[in-house]
Amino acid sequence: MVMEHHYLTYIAALEEELRQKNNKLSLVEETESFLPSALARAEENRGCMLGARP
């Protein structure tokens, strides 16, 4: 019974670690999908600002 409790505790800890890693991976994926469009907008804004110089 004690050994079974140990394994259940261990499995719960692994599940929590997996959830945390999954959340981090989701943030990385969101960032990777956001960066190209953010970079493109920054380049467009930079071009507009440079083009506005006399």
In this prediction the pTM is 0.63
Q: What is the pLDDT of residue 47?
A: 80
Q: What is the dihedral of CA 42, 43, 49, 51, to 10 degrees?
A: -160
* CA dist 26 → 5, 19, 53 (Å): 31, 10, 41
Instruction: Give pLDDT tens digits along the chain (54 positions).
Output: 788 999 999 999 999 999 999 999 999 999 999 999 999 999 998 888 776 555
pLDDT computed for residue 3 by the predictor: 85
Confidence at residue 52, expressed as pLDDT on a 0 to 100 scale = 59
